[in-house]
Every structure is written in C-alpha cells, then in structure tokens.
Amino acid sequence: MAASEPSSGQRVLVTGGAGYIGSHTCLELLQAGHSVTVLDNLCNSSPESLKRVESLAGRALELVQGDIRDFDLLRRLLGSPGGKQPAFDAVVHFAGLKAVGESVAQPLAYFDNNVAGTVCLLRAMAEAAVKTLVFSSSATVYGDPASVPISEDFSRSATNPYGRSKLVIEDILEDLYRSDPAWCIARLRYFNPGGAHVSGLIGEDPQGTPNNLMPYVSQVAIGQRECLQVFGGDYPTPDGTGVRDYIHVVDLANGHLAALRALRQDDGQSGRFLTVNLGTGVGVSVLDLVKAFERASGRSVPCRVVARRAGDVAACYANPALAKTLLGWQAQRNLADMCADAWRWQSQNPQGYRQSAAQAHSDGATR
Ligand code: NAD
Ligand code: UFG
C-alpha cells in the first residue's frame, strides 16, 4: 500500500501540531480521513498555520492551546481513567524545543520541556489507556557516525543537551514498552527536513535568524540576508562541505501516517515497538543544495566559506531500507522538488505567518 493512501479514520492527538513538521502532518492526516486535535502552547508557532491547514484540507481540526507539561489538561483531554472510552486512538508527539545552540545555553529548559514534558504526556496516556504513540526522534541520536549510510542499529550518542533529550526519551520509551508490551510505539529518526507544501500556503517559519541551512538559503535568495556562511570547506567530502540527507517535509509527514498504519497492524493482539530512520538515503553537500536552490528560484545565493561550526559532523545520511520494509514508506520527492516548494513558500510569504497576522489586524482596524 502506498504510504499516502488513506486508512480507516483514527482520532489523533498531535502535540506541537502548529509547528513546521506538525502542520504538514495535520494536513496529511485530515486528507487521509483522520480526525485531528492539536495540543500546542504556540511557543514557536502561529495558529495561522492551522487555519491554512484547514482551508487546504477543507475540513476542521481542533486546536487546544496548552502545554504538554500540564498534567490536568492532558487528563481532561485524553479522557478520564476507568470506564470512559479514551478520547483518542493515537498520539503523534512533535512538541519540543529544537535549537541545538540554545540547548547548550539552557540545558534545563530543554530537559524540562522535552523530557519532563514527554513523561507527563506518557503518564496521562497510560492513565487514559491511550497506548499508541509516534515520537519525533532525530538523526542527532547517531552523534558522529562511524560510517554512512546510517542504519538504525548504529551506536547512539549525544553531543549536546538537545540530542541528549532525544536519547533519554528514546530510552524512556523502550523501558515503557518493556514494562507493558501493550504499548504501540514508533520512534522516527528524522534526517534533515526541508521544503514546504506544494501550495505554498504552509511552510517553515523560523523566528529570528534561522539555525538551519534550508531556511537560511531561502532568506538569502529573497534578499533578506546578504550571504550564506558555509560552515567548513575542508571536510573529507567530495566538495569539502558538510553532507546531509534532506527530506521533503511532506514525505516526512506521510512517514507518520505510515507509522500509524504499521502500529495498527497488530491492533488488539499485542503492542509493537518500531525504530525507523526517515531519510532519503541521498547525501547532499551544502554547495549542492545552494546550486539546486539557485536553479529552483532563479536567484543567486552568495556564499562565503568560513570556519566549521562546533559540533557539526562531516556526513550524515540514512540507510532508509527499514522504513520501506516495516512501514511501506519511502521518500517520493527529490532535492529539486524541495527547493521549488521552499521557494514558493518563501516568495509567497516573505514574512512567514506574521504577514497574515498583521494583515488580519489591519483588516480588522479598517472594518
Ligand atoms: P517546531 O518548533 O516548528 O514545532 C514544535 C511545536 O511544538 C511548536 O509549534 C511549539 O510551539 C510546540 N511546543 C514546544 N514545546 C511545547 C510544549 N511544552 N507544549 C506544547 N507545545 C509545545 O519544530 P519542528 O521542526 O516542527 O519539529 C517537530 C519535532 O521534530 C520536534 O520534536 C523536533 O525536535 C523534531 N525534529 C525536528 C527536526 C528539524 O530539523 N526540524 C529534525 C529532527 C527532529
Ligand atoms: N550549514 C551552513 N551554513 C548555515 C547553516 C548550516 O553551512 O548557515 C551547514 C551545516 O554545517 C551542515 C548543513 O549545513 O553541514 C546542515 O546544517 P543544519 O543546521 O541545517 O542541520 P544539521 O544537520 O546540523 O542538524 C539538523 C537539525 C538537528 C537534527 C539534525 C538531524 O538542526 O536538530 O538535523 O535531524 F538533529
């Protein structure tokens, strides 16, 4: 079965659903016939993303503005213990902080939000007997890999508090499953998400200076930033710049639907515990990406090679074979698609979702 085919409708709680990957996943879930409730505290997102998701899907979702660390709220949302039918079939858990540099400066904020927040969510799920979870892990758990491509059985390590928060959560999920094999858990290790929905209506909306390559390149192409700093030109890679596995965000979103289906296969019998890379298997250098973006946008992206960024690895790309075997999923879109879609989003929304908020405000003021 193709990864994007609809399956029977489930009631899905999406934590962090207003964010970049979450909003794209909400759209795919709605389009596949699932019903969606988003729990998001909007610390790094705008509700405008979800308004656009609803208009693209032609269907409504529910947004609950709140924090995954609020146990009473989760209890109310998931359904009370004993007797009452759980309110959801599954939880897709995106909520978390994700800036590596910030995590080094504020480790406790990362452990509190990501680790304590996940424990709070899991306690509420256990109490409500909602035992199906898809978790956003990351290729960061592979640390500095001994070789590429990276398979799921490679050793794991953390090089910063953000990465450690993902490692700890991965371990907590494994312990939880061991304690109660009725749980159905998928740990999805994303490689480098990029691109946007083909409509140009939803996409990545970084606050302040982007940390990641793709949004930075977009902002240079549109003239908001002068020049891309290429972090390191002396890596042992074909052109000396860092190599990564850029995966289209819509493919990534569909990976979550495939995981939900795979977890359901054993529904009612016993649980399942899956750990899967979501990547393309293709290594792309910084300069490859810049060239592809220039082609897609018709704009030039001036670059300057500077020193390596602390903590970066030379090359990181997935062996994606297990996702195909276990989930029936593989990436459908290539680097050119990703750049074309990122450029459409960037050029139609130069200020991201802020533009819509300002527009709505001025429309209201003139009415
Ligand atoms: P994002 O910041 O756009 O989305 C995260 C969402 O979670 C935001 O809407 C934010 O407001 C919300 N949130 C954060 N803390 C919360 C809390 N305590 N309670 C409720 N909501 C909260 O990030 P994204 O790029 O969409 O990433 C989603 C997930 O995928 C994260 O867990 C991230 O660590 C993981 N991930 C991202 C990447 C990447 O490069 N984007 C790579 C690997 C893994
Ligand atoms: N890079 C530049 N200039 C920039 C930004 C990035 O040259 O301005 C280079 C980096 O050195 C690296 C490549 O572009 O070689 C990709 O860098 P990103 O910051 O976009 O992504 P990373 O691979 O460093 O990390 C990202 C997320 C992590 C996640 C990891 C794997 O930020 O949270 O992908 O999923 F863990």
Domain ranges of the chain: 11-353
DSSP string, 288-354: HHHHHHHHHHS----EEEEPPPTT--SEE-B--HHHHHHH-------HHHHHHHHHHHHHH-TTTTH
User: Is this structure's pTM higher than 0.85?
Assistant: yes
- Which residues contact ligand 1 via a Cβ below 6 A? 15-16, 18-22, 40-45, 67-69, 94-98, 113, 117, 136, 138, 190, 193, 212
Q: Strand ranges (DSSP E) for 156-302?
A: 184-190, 192-194, 228-231, 243-244, 246-248, 272-278, 284-285
Helix axis angle, 335-348 relative to 213-221, nearest 10°?
Answer: 60
Active site residue 177: no
Of 309, 313, 338, the residue with max ligand 2 atoms within 8 A of its CB, to mutate for a pocket test, comes to: 309
What was the pLDDT predicted at 357?
A: 61
Nearest Cα residue to 339 out of 306, 294, 302, 309: 294
What was the pLDDT predicted at 80?
A: 57
- CA-nearest residue for atom 44, ligand 1, is 138
Fold of 11-353: Rossmann fold (3.40.50)
What was the pLDDT predicted at 355?
A: 75
What was the pLDDT predicted at 5?
A: 39
- Classify residue 362 by burial, with Cβ atoms within 10 Å: 0-12, 13-18, 19+: exposed
Q: Which of 20, 162, 317, 353 is catalytic?
A: 162
Query: Given the DSSP bridges, would you call strands 243-244 and 284-285 parallel, antiparallel or unpaired?
Result: antiparallel
**Cβ of 214: how many Cβ atoms within 10 Å?**
24
Compute CA distances 182 → 129, 220, 270, 363, whole Å.
10, 49, 5, 52
- CA-nearest residue for atom 3, ligand 1, is 19
Of 50, 65, 136, the residue with max ligand 1 atoms within 8 A of its CB, to mutate for a pocket test, comes to: 136
Cα(7) to ligand 1 centroid in Å equals 26
Taking only the tens place, the pLDDT of each residue in 334-345 is 999 999 999 999
Show the low-confidence residues of the chain (pLDDT under 50).
1-7, 364-367
| Closest-approaching ligand to the CA atom of 228 | 2
CA dihedral (297, 212, 14, 30) in degrees, to 10, reads 10
- CA-nearest residue for atom 30, ligand 1, is 136
Taking only the tens place, the pLDDT of each residue in 228-254 is 999 999 999 999 999 999 999 999 999
| Closest-approaching ligand to the CA atom of 239 | 2
| Closest-approaching ligand to the CA atom of 109 | 1
- Which residues contact ligand 2 via a Cβ below 6 A? 98, 100, 138-140, 190-192, 211-213, 216, 228-231, 242, 244, 286, 309, 312
| Closest-approaching ligand to the CA atom of 113 | 1
Is the four-CA dihedral 98, 155, 312, 148 of positive or negative sign?
Answer: negative
Cα(20) to ligand 1 centroid in Å equals 7
What was the pLDDT predicted at 93?
A: 99
Cα(152) to ligand 1 centroid in Å equals 22
Cα(212) to ligand 2 centroid in Å equals 5
Cα(50) to ligand 2 centroid in Å equals 26
Cα(206) to ligand 2 centroid in Å equals 14
